[in-house]
Structure 1
């Protein structure tokens, strides 16, 4: 009986107590997060390429 009570309380919490975002807000937030994820990955790729180039030049001095 305790498990049933537990799951009923979880259901009540999800349905009646949580404020879910509106569909438009969810779409805008998803686009913003996707944009910054792509931007950050490209930025970090650029920094990585720069440091690889720099380290190769530093250690290839003759």
Structure 2
């Protein structure tokens, strides 16, 4: 792949609760959410769900 064909880097999220921007970041948060559910981490669940929901200027 040449530089002209390389995908543009995703913008960074600067929200208070950082949203995942790339598909790899979304997958990582999804795995963390599944793990938090598995171990019963009730404090982490709302934060992880907030990362995956809501509008974010970086994803626009």
Common topology (TM > 0.5): no
TM-score bracket for the superposition, by shorter chain length? 0.3 to 0.5
* Structure number, greater radius of gyration: 1
TM-score, length-normalised on structure 1?
A: 0.32
TM-score, length-normalised on structure 2?
A: 0.33
Bigger relative contact order (CA 8 A; separation at least 6): 2
